[in-house]
Structure 1
């Protein structure tokens, strides 16, 4: 495993971050908690030291699972969680009111079994709450030692600039993959200029870039990924198959799964510190960690880029 520093911090994180949304057991199909705990521990044993979670993942369930899995190993983990999104029975509510943040951080600390969080992130912007009010509350919590560094997720450049004038933001977590490259236009240059690390999610495009699905899948009723990602719509699905064929060739060359190529490509893009990749079992966690060993040539990165710009521009950009 390779490790990179989040700028302006003492956090040296693994290039692969274990994303735990699926472990909330409410959005990506049924997942057994004991299997999730074994998955987290297998990830740690494989060199992954960065775990990302959130209260919104199963209304706190994923955080509880993470807490159980890292018990006795907290000093080996760089722990990231979030605030500002509340999971209800049928939706996600954005809420960054000071009273919500104060409640959520204590609940997160309790579920995670720790007295501090390494990277505390605003999950989504809340248009109904002044950002100044949210950040003032977060800075007080940081001063109290409840978290070490502040990050944001799903912010625009305008919000990043507004936040920069009020607090030190060390990271941005956006959706980014071969099939979702809109951040390259403004957010990536902004983060590079301001020394803000990118810890990206959606690296495998909801599983599509694993190469597992060669026919349009019918997910079970508890798996809602097709609601979150548009890649599983028939008109887009057909456009993506050519990219998978290109990745097949590279996977054959490197004698690795297609997912490794997608992960390696993301890690070789400017500003990327770590990429979030989910796992539902030990085998997936161990496999994801091994993707850190693959490094594409400059020519191969350009070949992928040229194909996407020619054939998938309306999807990726």
Structure 2
């Protein structure tokens, strides 16, 4: 397992982390909690040490699942969660108001059954709350020992500048995969120049980069992947299939899965510290961890990058 340190911290994280969005059980269809716990523990046993979650995933449900899974494993894992997205029955509300943040941290600690969070992240910018007010609350929370390091998710370089003027920032969590590469334009260089780790999500584009779908899927009720990812619609679907053909060829050469190749490609990119990958079963979690068991050759990377340029750029 490849281990990488987040700059300016004592946190060493695995190149593959466990993402828990699906474990909220309200976006990717039904996910059995016991299977989620088995998956998390299998990932830990396979060497993965980073678990990322958020209150927004199932209105706290994913955090509760993680809390049960890490019981007895807490000293083996780096726990990352977030604040700033408050769930209502029908919506996701961006809320970084101090009183909301102060409540969220205590709720997260209770659900996760831990005394502290290793990496606490502002989930999305809140245009209605001055960042100075949010960070004043964040500083109080940190001084109380409730979290160790601050990160942000889905922030622009300009927004990160505003945070960094007030308090230390160690990481960014953006969406990134071979299908979504917008951070390569200026975000990666910003993070490198300012010593920020990149912990990316969306590695497999909601399962599309596993190569398991032979045709555009009709997702079951409660599974909204095709709403979040444009790749499940034409013309993007057909373009992605051309890239997957190349991934399958590379996977055969290494006796690996398409998903493992896609994961490996992502954490091999410039500036990336760790990539988050979801798992609905212990088998998937172990397979995700095994994406670190081989190295893509220069020829492999050139083939994949050529397919991306020709079909997706």
The interval holding the TM-score normalised by the smaller chain is over 0.9
State the shift of 1:221 in Å: 1.1
**What whole-Å deviation, never above 9, does each CA across 1:50-86 have from its counterpart, x for those lacking one?**
1000000000000001101111211111000000001
Stretch moving more, 98-107 or 235-244:
235-244
Shift of 1:94: 0.6
Rounded to whole Å, the distance in 2 between the matches of 1:139 and 1:302 is 45
For the residue of structure 1 that corresponds to 2:206, the secondary structure is helix
- Post-superposition Cα deviations, 1:102-151, rounded to whole Å, max 9, x if no partner, equal 00000000000011000000001100001111111111111111000000
SS in structure 1 opposite 2:176?
A: coil
Aligned to 1:38: 38
Structure 1 CA distance for aligned equivalents of residues 132 and 67 of structure 2: 31
RMSD: 0.9
CA contact (8 A) 2:86 2:92 kept: yes
State yes or no: 1:17 paired with 2:17. yes
- TM-score computed with the length of structure 1 as normaliser: 0.97
Bigger shift: 274-283 or 287-296? 287-296
Mapped partners of 2:41, 2:81: distance in 1 = 18
Runs of at least 4 residues off by over 2 Å? none
Indicate whether 1:184 and 2:184 are aligned: yes
Given that 2:247 and 2:261 are in contact with CA atoms closer than 8 Å, whether structure 1 keeps it comes out as yes
Alpha-carbon distance in 2 for matches of 1:306, 1:134:
43
Match of 1:226 in 2: 226
| Count of aligned residue pairs for this structure pair | 313
Q: Which residue of 2 aligns with 1:131?
A: 131
The answer on whether the counterparts of 2:246 and 2:303 sit within 8 Å (CA) in structure 1 is no
Q: Which residue of 1 aligns with 2:276?
A: 276
State the match for 2:300 in structure 1. 300
Name the structure 2 match of 1:28.
28
Structure 1 match to 2:175: 175
The reply on whether 1:286 has 2:293 as its aligned counterpart is no
Aligned 8 A contact 1:260 1:294 in 2: no
1:80 is matched with 80
Q: Which residue of 2 aligns with 1:148?
A: 148
